[in-house]
Amino acid sequence: MLSVHTSPLHQPGTGDAGGMNVYIVELAKRLADLNIEVEVFTRAASSDDAPTVQLAPGVLVRHVTAGPYEGLIKEDLPAQLCAFTHGVLRAEAGHRPGYYDLVHSHYWLSGQVGWLAAERWGVPLVHTMHTMAKVKNASLAAGDTPEPAARVIGETQVVEAADRLIANTAEEAGALSHHYAARPDQLAVVHPGVNLDVFRPEAADRAGRAATDPAGRLAAQRAARTVLGLPQDAAVLLFAGRIQPLKAPDVLLRAVAVLLERQPGLRERLVVPVVGGPSGTGLAKPESLHKLAAQLGISDVVRFCPPVGQARLAEWYRAATALVMPSYNESFGLVALEAQACGTPVVAAAVGGLPVAVRDGVTGTLVRGHDPADWADALHPYATQPELVSRQGAAAARHASAFGWGASAAATADVYAGVLHRPAGLLGSSRRRLA
């Protein structure tokens, strides 16, 4: 696997680390369980990065030196693709010919490297876009910077070169066809998954009883709020993710201001945690969200918290009344699945893959557009109707339970088998190597 711009070892929620990091880690581990050996090539971002790191049995991370360790942003990396490609080819040259059976690249920068490596080694190229420039540019947040033409050109080249394109949803497959002229025979839809061992309704109950037991869900919420220092009677509207215009945390803050203007009495029990760090264009003004909260007069209800690991993030989900995702675009929305797996309903924008991740009116609410007044309308029932939260939370846990990473890995292995022209059942009969 190729992941040029972000390492699977990095903490999701800040910088360029996010859902794609989780996707690569979880998918690689489950592929290894299927006897598919995985090596992930990523750019070394620190002089302390070891050349190789064993992420899990059967999963090796290789750090490639390409440009200075620090100070490079994602937009600088196209100039380092030659150096990165050299590092990948050099690693392969140390093995016997035919060591790697297949290349799976993630994001367009990796696709550029994968295109050359796959052609050099005479193996298939499978590519996952994760996000697309043309789609992002069609739904930019106000004042956000559009993706450059160079990325559009690079993505078009990768689509032309790939043997298979794995899309998260049928909608994403349609966008690949519409915007990039992907052929039907190239496209495969594989839904991402969720780690159901970590993200579950009750930390101590893997049987999932809290998914259907309101008392169990309430007990789990109380326990999580105690751990996190949150009031037991609070209405907790949680944002979790990278802080940048694309994710639209400002829409949540503006909606909360409208909500409190309409119903001032909610201020006594409303808590709005923002768990994550600046990323992308948000790095240019890292304090902008703090300033906005002050300008709106809601600093007393907003809590800014740094990114956390998965176990702690699961506590935040369990503590929340609802997760709020006002994003302008999401290829799928892994955070939405994680929250639902913990028994928490989701209020999300009706964009990208979120209508697949969230069942509108059943496991949460989908909101069209980004008008704060509309979002205030959508959030109000969650802040005032405990029975709604309980009912949708139980449905959310049941819904998310169908999205385990084992199913995603099996479907991905089927894609590999097809492009390698092997029956799926025989793919894991001997070790296959994936770069």
Express each pLDDT in 54-72 by its tens digit: 999 999 999 999 999 887 8
Predicted pLDDT at 15: 58
Q: Determine whether the annotation assigns residue 242 to a binding site.
A: yes
> Contact, 270 vs 256, CB < 8 A?
yes
C-alpha to C-alpha distance for 415 and 32, rounded to whole angstroms: 15
Q: Determine whether the annotation assigns residue 154 to a binding site.
A: no
Q: How confident is the model at residue 306 (pLDDT cuts 50, 70, 90)?
A: very high
Q: How confident is the model at residue 157 (pLDDT cuts 50, 70, 90)?
A: very high
Task: Provide the token pair at 280.
Answer: 């992308």
Instruction: Calculate what percentage of the chain has a pLDDT beyond 70.
Output: 91
- Asked whether residue 414 carries a pLDDT value surpassing 90, the answer given is yes
Q: Determine whether the annotation assigns residue 402 to a binding site.
A: no
Predicted pLDDT at 139: 86
**Mean pLDDT (whole number) for 200-207:** 66
Predicted pLDDT at 242: 87
**Mean pLDDT (whole number) for 157-181:** 97
C-alpha to C-alpha distance for 60 and 39, rounded to whole angstroms: 5
Q: Check if 2-193+404-434 and 209-400 are the same fold.
A: yes
Q: Determine whether the annotation assigns residue 285 to a binding site.
A: no
Task: State the alpha helices, DSSP H only, in 73-122.
Answer: 81-93, 107-121
* Domain range list for the chain: 2-193+404-434, 209-400
The CATH class for the domain spanning 209-400 reads alpha beta
Predicted pLDDT at 278: 82
Task: Provide the token pair at 15.
Answer: 């910088």
Predicted pLDDT at 140: 86
Q: Determine whether the annotation assigns residue 161 to a binding site.
A: no
**Mean pLDDT (whole number) for 155-181:** 97
- pLDDT tens profile 369-404: 999 999 999 999 999 999 999 999 999 999 999 999
Instruction: Tell which residue, 5, 38, 34, has the closest CA to residue 21.
Output: 5
- Strand, helix or coil for residue 305: strand
Q: Residue type for 191, please?
A: H
Q: Determine whether the annotation assigns residue 12 to a binding site.
A: yes
- Asked whether residue 417 carries a pLDDT value surpassing 90, the answer given is yes
Instruction: Tell which residue, 356, 355, 346, has the closest CA to residue 379.
Output: 346
Q: Determine whether the annotation assigns residue 18 to a binding site.
A: yes
Task: Provide the token pair at 41.
Answer: 């090539």
Predicted pLDDT at 431: 62
CATH superfamily of the domain spanning 2-193+404-434: Glycogen Phosphorylase B; (3.40.50.2000)
Q: Determine whether the annotation assigns residue 131 to a binding site.
A: yes
Q: Determine whether the annotation assigns residue 20 to a binding site.
A: yes
Cα 292–chain centre separation = 25
- Asked whether residue 432 carries a pLDDT value surpassing 90, the answer given is no
Q: Determine whether the annotation assigns residue 320 to a binding site.
A: yes
Q: Determine whether the annotation assigns residue 315 to a binding site.
A: no
269 compared with 207, residue with greater pLDDT:
269
Q: How confident is the model at residue 293 (pLDDT cuts 50, 70, 90)?
A: very high
Q: Determine whether the annotation assigns residue 70 to a binding site.
A: no
Q: Determine whether the annotation assigns residue 19 to a binding site.
A: yes
Q: Determine whether the annotation assigns residue 35 to a binding site.
A: no
Instruction: Tell which residue, 199, 203, 112, has the closest CA to residue 396.
Output: 199
Residues whose CB is less than 8 angstroms from the CB of residue 366 and which lie 6 or more positions away in sequence, other chains included: 348, 349, 350, 354, 355, 358, 360
Task: State the alpha helices, DSSP H only, in 333-404.
Answer: 334-341, 354-357, 372-384, 386-400
Q: Which of 74-78, 82-86, 225-229, 323-327 has the lowest mean pLDDT?
A: 74-78
> Contact, 176 vs 133, CB < 8 A?
no
Q: How confident is the model at residue 203 (pLDDT cuts 50, 70, 90)?
A: low
Q: Which residues of 132-159 are buried (b: 16+ CB within 10 A; e: fewer)?
A: bbbbbbeebbeebeebeeebbebbbebb
